[in-house]
Structure 1
Amino acid sequence: MAGSRPVLIVDDDETLRTLLVEQLRLEGEFEPVEASSVAEATKLVDNADAHFDAILLDVTLPDGDGRDFCAELRRRGIRMPIIILTGSDDEADVVRGLDAGANDYVAKPFRIAELLARLRAQMRIFENSEDAVFAIGPYVFRPSAKLLQEPTRNRRIRLTEKEAAILKFLYRAGQQPVPRQVLLNEVWGYNAAVTTHTLETHIYRLRQKIEPNPTSACLLLTEGGGYRLDPAGTPLATTQPVRV
C-alpha cells in the first residue's frame, strides 16, 4: 500500500473505537484518528494541518447528537464521506441521519467487513464526484474536472487525464514515495507497451505546469526510485536541478 488514508472515528465507546482502529490499521489501508466527543472531533476537523478522507460518526455522543454535527459539517461545506453509526435501525432515525447529510447509515452491532466495504465504496464515489477537492501547494485540485485552480492569481491550469491521475494517486499516497513501476501500473494499467520513459515525460510536463521553478521542484519530488507529492510545497534545500 503506497499510503494510508486518514479516517476520523467519532464515538464515545472506547472498546468500539479500539476495535475499529485495529481493523482499519490491519492492512495499512487506513490511518484512523480517534475522537470521543463532538468537541474533540471539531478541533480535529478545524486543525489546518489535518485532513480526513472520511468520518465514522456515532449518533449518541456525550456533548451532542452526531447527526447535528454532521449537518453542521455540511453547512460549512465539508464534503468528505460521513457514515453514521447507531444503535437504532428505525426508519425515522435512518431518514434523519441521511437528511443531515450522511452518506450511509450503519446500525450496531455491525460486521466489520461490511463497514469497511461501505467505507471504501463511499470513498470511491466521492473521489469521482464534483465535490472532491484537494489542496496542493497554492492550488485547489479538482480531479473530476482535471483542473488546478490558483485563487491568489486567479489562474486555472488544465490537466490531461493522465496528469490528473498521477496527481491524484500521489496525493493519496500520503507523502510516501511511489515507485515508478507502481505509478505506471496504477495510471496506465499493466500495459507492456508503456515504459518508464512515458511516465517521466508526463512528470516533466506536469512540473512545467505546476512548479514555481520546474528545475527545483517543491511539489512533485523525485525520491526513493519514484515520486512523492508534497502538498505543502516545502522548498528543497538544494537549488540543483531535479532529475525526472
Structure 2
Amino acid sequence: MPAPRPILIIEDDAALRATLAEQLTLDGDFTADEADSVSAAEAKLADANARYDAILLDIGLPDADGRDFCAKLRRDGRRMPVIMLTGADGEQDVVRGLDSGANDYIAKPFRLPELLARVRAQLRIFDNSEDATFSVGPYLFRPSVRLLTEPSRNRKIRLTDKECAILKFLYRAGGKPVSRHILLNEVWGYNSAVTTHTLETHVYRLRQKIEPDPSQARLLLTEAGGYKLAPAALGIGQA
C-alpha cells in the first residue's frame, strides 16, 4: 500500500484544526501536521526533513492573510496543491484566493467528505502535472515527462512508462517494501501473461539507469519479497 500522504493544516481554530486532522488520518490515506499561524507554518516548512503533499490554508489567520501567504509560497517555488478554507465565499473573495495561487477553495461551514474529495482530486491533478517533482537520491523525478535529472552532473535520464510507474509507486510507499505481486498489479494491472520475471527485468533496467553501481544497489533495494526505495534516498530518517 502507498504510504500516507502528508498534509499541512494551517488553521487558527483549534477545534476545527483537530477535527480536520482526525478526519484526514481516519482511513490511513493521509498524515496531518498542524499550524495555528503563518509563522508556525513557515517554521514547519523550513524544516529540511519536512515534506507536505498538500496544504489546507485558512484565510483569516492571526498574523497574516492566508491569500498573501499562498502567494508567498508560490513565489518561493512551492507547487503543492493549496486548498483555501474561507468564511467568505463571495465571488471577489474566491477570485482573489485563486489569483493568489490557490488550487481550490471551500467555504465554511463545509462537509468533511467534500473536503476530503477535493484534497484527493487536487492530488490526482498535481501528480499528473508538470509541476510534480520528487526527490529521489541525487535525482529530481518528474513523472509527467518520465524524466530524472541529476543537477550536480547536469544529466538527464529518460524512463519508459513502466519504469516511471514502478519508481512512482515505490516513491509513494515512502521507503517501505512493496511486494512483487502488488507492483505487478499496480503497474500492469491484472494480466495473467505478465509474470514476476517481467517486473524483475524492468527493475534490472531501471537500476542500470539510476544506480552508480548497479551490482551494489543503494537507491532501489530488494527486500521482503519485493522492492523499496532506500529511506535515505527519500530524505527519511531510518527508525
- Give yes or no for TM over 0.5: yes
- Structure 2 CA distance for aligned equivalents of residues 233 and 82 of structure 1: 26
For the aligned residue pairs, the C-alpha RMSD in angstroms reads: 1.2
Give the TM-score normalised by structure 2.
Answer: 0.95
- Structure 2 CA distance for aligned equivalents of residues 54 and 165 of structure 1: 21
Matches within 5 A, 1:195-206: 195-206=195-206
Q: What is the letter of the counterpart of residue 186 of structure 1? A: E
Q: What is the letter of the counterpart of residue 134 of structure 2? A: F
Determine if contact 2:174/2:231 at 8 Å carries over to the other structure: no
Residue of structure 2 in register with 1:209 after alignment: 209
Three-state SS of the structure 2 residue aligned to 1:135 is: strand
Determine if contact 1:135/1:231 at 8 Å carries over to the other structure: no
Asked if 1:36 corresponds to 2:41, the answer is no
Residue of structure 2 in register with 1:47 after alignment: 47
**Stretches (4+) displaced over 3 A:** none
Residue of structure 1 in register with 2:219 after alignment: 219
Matches within 5 A, 1:170-209: 170-209=170-209
Matches within 5 A, 1:75-154: 75-154=75-154
Q: What is the letter of the counterpart of residue 210 of structure 1? A: I
How far off its partner does 1:224 sit? Answer: 2.0
State the identity %. Answer: 68
Three-state SS of the structure 1 residue aligned to 2:202 is: helix
Residue of structure 2 in register with 1:17 after alignment: 17
Determine if contact 2:128/2:143 at 8 Å carries over to the other structure: yes
- Structure 1 CA distance for aligned equivalents of residues 213 and 12 of structure 2: 48
Q: Which runs of 5+ in 1 are unaligned?
A: 235-244
What CA deviation, in whole Å up to 9, does each residue of 1:105-163 have, x standing for no partner?
10011111110111111001111111110011110111011000001111110100000
Q: Which runs of 5+ in 2 are unaligned?
A: 235-239
Residue of structure 2 in register with 1:237 after alignment: none
How far off its partner does 1:50 sit? Answer: 1.0
Q: What is the letter of the counterpart of residue 144 of structure 2? A: S
Pairs aligned (count):
234
How far off its partner does 1:57 sit? Answer: 0.4
